[in-house]
């Protein structure tokens, strides 16, 4: 599903009058999640899931085919863990 199809889905499910209103709601949600995660805050939507920023440790390795070594730095990455309600809905739809 691409963004245009998702906007249509949000418009129908959310009962928005126009696609522009639905797109505005999606943009506001995405911007809010980005802002909270950039502050290292977590967002928990009960039944849906939890968005959080977690520390990913740096790694060492070698480039295949050469003896060159590299090391990556520690960094924060976004993580999403699905809630029970979302897991159950997906499992039920698969049948």
pLDDT over 80 (residue 95): no
26-84 residue pLDDT tens: 999 999 999 999 999 999 999 999 999 999 999 999 999 888 999 999 999 999 999 99
CATH number (domain holding residue 69): 4.10.520.10
Domain that holds residue 15: 1-39
Same-domain status, 50 and 21 = no
Same-domain status, 33 and 69 = no
For the chain, the domain total comes to 2
- The rounded distance, in Å, linking the Cα atoms of 6 and 95 is 23
| Token pair in block for residue 41 | 């805050």
Same-domain status, 30 and 60 = no
Same-domain status, 87 and 55 = yes
Report the pLDDT value the prediction gives residue 93, as an integer from 0 to 100. 86
- What sign does the CA torsion over 17, 11, 80, 35 have? negative
Same-domain status, 33 and 46 = no
């Amino acid at each position: 599903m691409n963004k245009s199809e998702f906007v249509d889905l949000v418009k129908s499910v959310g009962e928005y009058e126009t696609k522009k209103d639905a797109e505005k709601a999606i943009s506001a949600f995405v911007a809010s999640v980005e802002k909270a995660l950039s502050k290292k805050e977590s967002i928990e939507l009960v039944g849906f899931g939890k968005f959080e920023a977690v520390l990913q440790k740096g790694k060492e390795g070698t480039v295949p085919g050469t003896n060159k070594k590299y090391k990556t730095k520690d960094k924060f990455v976004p993580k999403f863990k699905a809630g029970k309600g979302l897991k159950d809905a997906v499992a039920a739809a698969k049948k």
